[in-house]
Homo-oligomer: A and B are copies of this chain.
Amino acid sequence: MSRRNTGVSVRAVNAHACPVREVLDRVAGKWSVQILVAAARGPLRFTELERGIEGISRRMLTLTLRNLERDGLVTRTVHPTVPPKVEYELTAVAHELHETLRRLTDWAESNREYIAGARAAYDAEHRPELLDA
């Protein structure tokens, strides 16, 4: 009866506590956003996604896609052919999310150097032992 690691985040439960986290949990996984971004360009097959996302494992691609599908952010279309063909596509809601995320990454782009600088300064001040890594 174990049912260990079904791929459903525990945070989905915590979400009741805080509407803010509710958003982020939908995007918090290591791969969710990259999948959203990759799939935003149109319907893609499983293998196309896999190749488009550097470093993702088959397992995590599957699990993350399932969760996105569960949240109504991607649609999964199975073409009953041989060999099988499955296409994933963002829903309208997910496209809105994608647009919002783009503003976030824009922010990151703009402030990446600022943050890197802040880190370096902080580490020099508070963590001198890290300087010879």
Contacts and interface: CB of A to CB of B under 8 A. Distances in A.
Contact of A100 (B11, B103, B115, B118): B103
A105 interface: yes
A33 B21 contact: yes
Nearest to A28: B28
A119 B71 contact: yes
Interface centre among A33, A104, A122 (most CB of B within 10 A): A104
A114 B72 contact: yes
A45 interface: no
Contacts of A37: 20
B23 A105 contact: yes
Interface in A25-57: 26-28, 30, 33-34, 37, 54-55
A19 interface: yes
Contacts of A34: 18, 20-21
Contacts of A71: 115, 118-119
A97 interface: yes
Contacts of A103: 100, 103
Given A18-B34, A21-B33, A111 B123 contact: no
